[in-house]
Amino acid sequence: MSRPGTELDRLLAALDPRAGLAARHLWLVHLLAWVRGGQESPAAALERVRQFLDAVEADPDLRSRLRAWWATLVDTVDMTTLLADFGFAPRTALVSEVAERLRRKLLPSSPETIDASELFSLALPTAFDARWLAALQAQDLQRLAALLSENDGPSALWQRILLDAITYCAGQILATGFAPELRLRMSEAAREAQPFHALTRDVESLRVEVLRGLRTRERLDEAAQRLRERLEACRAAAATVYPHFEDNGISVGLVFLLRQLRERILRVRALLDCVLSPTPAASAAQLLAQLVLVGQERRSLRALLAANSSILAAKVAERSAETGEHYITRTAAEYRAMVAQAAGGGAVMAFTTLIKFALYALALSAFWGGFWAGVNYAASFVLIQLLHFTVATKQPAMTAPAMAARLKELDTGAGVEPFVDEVTHLVRSQVAAVLGNVLVVFPAVWGLAQCLAWASGQPAISPETATHVLESLHLLGPSVLFAAFTGVLLFTSSIIAGWTENWFVLHRLDSALRYNPRITRWLGGERAARWARFLRANISGFAANISLGFMLGLVPAFAGFFGLGLDVRHVTLSSGQLGAASAALGLEVLHLPAFWWAVATLPLLGAFNVAVSFYLAFRLALRARNVSGVDRSRIYTAIRARLRTASLSFFMPERRAP
């Protein structure tokens, strides 16, 4: 006999309905593992199923033992929980579900269980199981049903299990629909319609029609149709919560609650189709195959976070796009204003650079040095924001979502040229901002350092420190890599900004500041209103600037603790450091090759700061806005044509005739 037959003989000999709980369940796990085999094809698995059926049908004693084993399994394990709850979080909260999935990944499961869901995951753990279950033939399913039941098949028991599962699911839908955080955000029309109130009654009507002995098909169809309409009304009422997110912020926990509600409604529909199916065995196999795929999704932490954070990502991208519009210049006047704002930012960053060298001279420990450097950066960035200046490298992560929004207009050929216009405006704005920062911060730091040297009688930084600055900015060193890493930090700060603004709006803190009695008593009504408007307008910028400042200061310290050797290279700060080094070394610096290597590095630092942060934000915005199918070749062709015909438009605003 071949090896598969030998393995099957051992499995059939081990079948014992009087064995302990764990042994009975392990037999099922081993049997299905044998059916799965090497997962070469569903056809091979179906052939093993037929070998099993042939062997059991040929042996009356084996058939009797299998029937007794099945009866014990059904009495011991509650199948209803598998159909009603498998794939759903035990508590409708995202954090608890993340913890649960981590537990399932890290801790093994035991077959000694009466939880049908846990046993199901052990017995059918792979996506291949869904394939061979869905491929089962009707005659094979009929043979299996006949083996498990003495009568015409276990259809009556299966119907009762399905109805119990529908009842359990309906109870969960009802509880979610009555949850205050959901009900208060529904539209007024949805609340007045009260779709959830009659759900239990419609489920009970279906149950009566299915189980009554003298039922008519017409009454059963009417009960099923009422339940379907009720489920659709519940789904539509829950969907009215999504427009609420547009103006009032997004809660990831609430999105998770809505997704759970939607999935439970879909599960009831699937169970209802099984109840009404004229071929219960085939419908059972299809439902189990679907549950296998649900189990695969249930174990995926990445899928959970991606599904429940997509709307939040969309809102973050949308809020960033609103801010990013202000950084795109389209006229000569806007271009000059951007240069002036960037020059102001460069002037402030000159003082930031010298304060950094002063902190460096204190020789603090790595953490405290990074912390106070972060305070210095954050304070400078916030001051630049309040003075309505700009730092060039903070713009790309904000402008990328605005550009991604334009891609939705590319369905027609006429949308390509306006998009290329926006690309030229964006590049020109970024060039103006970088030049405004760099061309001011370098001479400003040089002049301040000369003044300090004249006042104190010694250079602002030592020649050794100046030499170290030149070496750290060498083109052949790791500076370009560090600039790309800084682009990641710039992108991260934009995400923090969008999330913070969403959190501020979601919790209605501007309204609380304006109307809370204790706050208005302390500040006065007019001042409280001013503070509320000010924070609503600036909370995103504060979050971006403060988070970026502390990341620039502390991330190198933490990376050094773990031996990663990462550092940051911000083009504006690096230009200021180069100015301080030039002042310390005097005119002799012009004869040093290291100086010119450092000067050659600055354009690349700006390019990588800008490109990396823009690319990451652009990809996030594309996914969040569901922009796909864009004909990239048309865009690239149009951009190349613009470069050939009007290359200066990428750097200077066009002169318009009066």
Cα separation, 178 vs 191, whole angstroms: 10
Average pLDDT taken over every residue of the chain: 85
Cα separation, 395 vs 411, whole angstroms: 27
Over residues 499-526, the mean pLDDT reads 89
Inside any domain, residue 67: yes
Give 387's pLDDT tier (boundaries 50, 70, 90).
very high
- On whether both 174 and 146 belong to a single domain, the answer is no
Contact 308, 256 (CB under 8 A): yes
Cα separation, 373 vs 550, whole angstroms: 8
Answer positive or negative: Cα dihedral of 142, 148, 149, 150: positive
- On whether both 603 and 537 belong to a single domain, the answer is yes
Tell me which amino acid residue 450 is: Q
Residues contacting 442, CB < 8 A, separation 6+: 575, 576, 578, 579
**Which residue is listed with tokens 């951007």?**
338
Cα separation, 383 vs 527, whole angstroms: 22
- pLDDT value at 153 more than 50: no
- pLDDT value at 550 more than 80: yes
- Token pair recorded at residue 435: 């030049």
Q: Which residues are registered as beta bridge partners of 115?
A: 78
Percentage of the chain lying above the pLDDT 70 cut: 87
Contact 624, 317 (CB under 8 A): yes
CATH number at residue 212: 1.20.120
- Tell me what pLDDT residue 401 has: 60
- pLDDT value at 2 more than 50: no
Over residues 533-555, the mean pLDDT reads 92
CA distances from 247 to 143, 318, 357, 591 (A): 58, 12, 45, 60
Contact 492, 547 (CB under 8 A): yes
Contact 556, 482 (CB under 8 A): no
Contact 141, 285 (CB under 8 A): yes
Answer positive or negative: Cα dihedral of 350, 351, 352, 357: positive
- pLDDT value at 435 more than 80: yes
Q: pLDDT tens across 391-403, in order?
A: 877 666 566 566 6
- Which of residues 241 and 297 earns the better pLDDT score? 241
Cα separation, 62 vs 27, whole angstroms: 14
Eight-class DSSP state of 524: -
- Tell me what pLDDT residue 124 has: 92
- pLDDT value at 429 more than 90: no
Q: SS3 for 53?
A: helix
- Tell me what pLDDT residue 537 has: 87
Over residues 474-486, the mean pLDDT reads 94
CA angle 322, 346, 446 (to 5 degrees): 170
* Domain housing 9: 1-78+92-150
Give 658's pLDDT tier (boundaries 50, 70, 90).
very low
Q: SS3 for 78?
A: strand
Q: Is 8 exposed, middle or buried (0-12, 13-18, 19+ CB in 10 A)?
A: buried
- On whether both 158 and 223 belong to a single domain, the answer is yes
- Which of residues 439 and 653 earns the better pLDDT score? 439
Total domains present in the chain: 3
Q: pLDDT tens across 261-287, in order?
A: 999 999 999 999 998 888 888 888 999
Inside any domain, residue 86: no
- Token pair recorded at residue 155: 């259809």
- On whether both 425 and 557 belong to a single domain, the answer is yes
- On whether both 331 and 434 belong to a single domain, the answer is yes
- On whether both 118 and 264 belong to a single domain, the answer is no
Inside any domain, residue 295: no
Q: pLDDT tens across 305-316, in order?
A: 666 666 666 666
- Tell me what pLDDT residue 242 has: 83
- pLDDT value at 621 more than 70: no
Over residues 333-347, the mean pLDDT reads 89
- On whether both 478 and 518 belong to a single domain, the answer is yes
Q: pLDDT tens across 167-192, in order?
A: 999 999 999 999 888 888 898 899 99
- On whether both 500 and 596 belong to a single domain, the answer is yes
Query: Which of 277, 304, 336 lies at the terminal end of a domain, its last residue?
Result: 277
Cα radius of gyration rounded to whole Å, the chain = 34
- Tell me what pLDDT residue 394 has: 65
Inside any domain, residue 536: yes
Inside any domain, residue 288: no
Residue 117's nearest CA partner among 172, 155, 164, 80 is 80
Eight-class DSSP state of 175: H
DSSP string computed for 110-174: -S--SBHHHHHHHHS-SHHHHHHHHT--HHHHHHHHHHH-SSS-THHHHHHHHHHHHHHHHHHHH
Contact 445, 574 (CB under 8 A): no
Query: Which of 229, 247, 277 lies at the terminal end of a domain, its last residue?
Result: 277
Over residues 66-76, the mean pLDDT reads 91
- pLDDT value at 459 more than 80: yes
Inside any domain, residue 656: no
Inside any domain, residue 290: no
- Tell me what pLDDT residue 414 has: 61
- On whether both 143 and 195 belong to a single domain, the answer is no
Q: What is the pTM of this model?
A: 0.72
The number of CA neighbours under 13 Å toward the Cβ of 65 is 17
**Residues 320-352, buried b or exposed e (16+ Cβ, 10 A)?**
bbbbbeebbbeeeebbeebbebbbbbbbbbbbb
- Token pair recorded at residue 621: 């915005």
Inside any domain, residue 293: no
Count of beta carbons in the 10 Å neighbourhood of residue 497 = 27
- Tell me what pLDDT residue 402 has: 63
Query: Which of 118, 150, 182 lies at the terminal end of a domain, its last residue?
Result: 150
- Token pair recorded at residue 623: 């996914």
Contact 513, 535 (CB under 8 A): yes
- On whether both 128 and 158 belong to a single domain, the answer is no
- Tell me what pLDDT residue 506 has: 82
- On whether both 192 and 134 belong to a single domain, the answer is no
- Tell me what pLDDT residue 319 has: 59
**Which residue is listed with tokens 């795109």?**
328
Q: pLDDT tens across 187-245, in order?
A: 889 999 999 999 999 999 999 888 875 567 788 889 999 999 999 999 999 999 888 87
- Which of residues 623 and 651 earns the better pLDDT score? 651
DSSP string computed for 346-408: HHHHHHHHHHHHHHHHTT--HHHHHHHHHHHHHHHHHHHHHTT---GGGSHHHHHHHHHHHGG
Highest mean pLDDT among 93-107, 544-558, 642-656: 544-558
- pLDDT value at 585 more than 90: yes
- On whether both 474 and 527 belong to a single domain, the answer is yes
- Tell me what pLDDT residue 442 has: 96
Q: How many residues does the chain have?
A: 658
Over residues 134-142, the mean pLDDT reads 91
- pLDDT value at 6 more than 90: no
